[in-house]
Structure 1
Amino acid sequence: MPTRIIGDTPPRLPAELIARFAAVPVAVVVDLLEGRTQVDPAIRPLRRIAGGPTLLGSAVTACCDPQDYGAVHHAIAVAEAGDVVVIDAGGRRDVAMIGDLLSTAARRKGIVGLVADGAVRDTGILGGWGDFAVFTRHVTARGPASKDGGTVDAPATIGGAPVRPRDLILGDDDGIVVIPREAAEGLIAKAEERAQAEIGWERRLAAGETTLAVFGVPDAVRA
């Protein structure tokens, strides 16, 4: 069966709203959403960048059949600048769903990165790009066997977290969280408030206050 592309997808969120999440750590969003859309921490970034998100954009999903990467090709074709290609390969490690050639094509389009619940290869190249973030569960040298299956822009599952087309993907050194598209507008003010509160806590700690005072920890009972 040829690769299918689901045509009825929601519009992308406003760029101004997406940009506001760039100042919000993944940990803040995970806590606010009580971990419901946190991606399995085993899916890690190839490169580490201290400070700020390394990945932020609207999801274009590629749901791959075993050993087939047709959906990845078509997801890159569908994606626009600022998007994130999300590869649902079922966590398989047998073949890489993407390497440097497809990633270079994505990068040239302005796609900001990818998340693979599966494997990637050519990591020496992919891990060296500062403008294209790659998160993956596995790395393997073996390539796929076919390119004519899978589905683009279908609901996917990445590391146990549901991802729908045009949900927001936010990633940093702590991992990835999926921000449901319909929740983003109501979440951003709370996330910004929490991020600012953490800055205030850091200042109080730097001034010499104890963690007990800063975090309002109840008194302990001496035994």
Structure 2
Amino acid sequence: MPTRIFQPEGTRLPTSLVEEWRKIPAAVVADLLRGTGHVDAGIRPLRRFGTKSWLVGSAITARCEGADYGAVHHAIDVAEAGDVVVVDAGGRSDAAMIGELLSGSARRKGIVGVIVDGAVRDAGMLSEWADFAIFSRWVTPRGPSSMEGGSVNEPISFGGVPVSPFDLIIGDDDGLVIVPRGRAEELLTPALARVKAEVEWEAVLATGRSTIEVFNVPKAEKAQ
């Protein structure tokens, strides 16, 4: 069956809203979502982000069938600048779904990254691109075997988390978190407040006060 391209419901999040989310690290988002949005920890970035910036963008989904990567080609084709291509390859390790050539094409379009529940290749080159992020579960030299199946912009499961087109992807050195599109505006204010609070906690702890005091940890009992 040829690759199928679905018409997503809704529209991309406003650019201004996405830009505000660039201030929020993955750990803060994961805590706000109370364990429902963080992706399997086995999916890791190829390069370290450090503390300066991380991956943030709207999802374009690609569901691959077996070792076929047709959906990845079509997802890159329909994605726009600022998007993240989210590849559900079923976690398989024996065939890379993307490498330098496709990633380079995506990068030139302004796509900010590709995340793969599966394998990638050309890791040496991809890990050198500071303006394009790759997360994957595996790295392998073997490429795909066909390019005529799968689907684009269909709801998928990625690393154990549901992902729909235009959901917000946030990824840094801690891992990946998915913010449902419908909750991105609602969660922004508490996320920014948590970031502010963490800065304040750090300043107070730097004065020598204990974490027991600062975080109001319940008293412990002495063991008999």
Length-normalised TM-score, structure 2: 0.98
Listed as ranges, the matches of 1:39-188 within 5 Å are: 39-188=39-188
Structure 1: 4+ residue segments shifted above 6 A: none
Taking a change above 3 Å as real, the CA distance of residues 211 and 140 of structure 1, as seen in their structure-2 partners, is same
- Check if 1:17 corresponds to 2:55: no
In the aligned structure 2, how far is the partner of 1:61 from the partner of 1:103? 15
Q: How many residues align?
A: 223
For residue 71 of structure 1, report the CA deviation from its aligned partner.
0.2
Tell me the residue number matched to 2:208: 208
Contact 1:39 1:159 in 2 (8 A): yes
Cα distance change on mapping 1:53 and 1:175 into 2, 3 Å = farther
Contact 1:26 1:53 in 2 (8 A): no
Equivalent-residue separation in structure 2 for 1:54 and 1:142 (angstroms): 28
Provide the rounded CA distance (Å) in 1 between the counterparts of 2:130 and 2:93: 25
User: What amino acid maps onto 2:192 in structure 1?
Assistant: E
**Structure 1: segments with no counterpart, 5+ residues:** none
Question: Separation in 2 of the partners of 1:37 and 1:29?
Answer: 8
Query: Could you say what the CA RMSD is over the residues aligned between the two structures, in angstroms?
Result: 0.8
CA distance in 1, matches of 2:219, 2:172: 35
Deviation at 1:46, TM superposition (A): 0.3
| Cα distance in 1, alignment partners of residues 119 and 3 from structure 2 | 20
State the Cα distance separating 1:8 from its structure 2 match. 3.7
- What is the Cα deviation at residue 156 of structure 1? 0.9
Q: Deviations over 1:63-119 (max 9, x none)?
A: 001010000000000000000000000000110000000000000000000110000
How far residue 170 of structure 1 moved from its aligned partner, in angstroms, is: 0.3
Q: What is the CA deviation profile of residues 166-187 of structure 1, one whole-angstrom value per residue up to 9, with x for unaligned ones?
A: 0000001000000000000100
* Letter aligned with residue 5 of structure 2: I
Residues 158/45 of structure 1: CA separation in 2 closer, same or farther (3 Å cut): same
CA distance in 2, matches of 1:32, 1:126: 31
How far off is 1:52 after superposition? 4.5
One-letter identity of the residue aligned with 1:24: I
For 2:19, what is the secondary structure of its paired residue? helix
CA–CA distance in structure 2, aligned partners of residues 132 and 54 of structure 1: 10
Q: Residues 167 and 179 of structure 2 are in contact (CA less than 8 Å); yes or no, is this contact kept in structure 1?
A: yes
**2:97 counterpart SS class:** strand
Which AA in structure 1 matches 2:180? Answer: P
Structure 1, 211-220 or 184-193: larger mean CA deviation: 211-220
Which residue number corresponds to residue 5 of structure 1?
5
**Distance change >3 Å, CA 174–CA 33, structure 1 → 2:** same
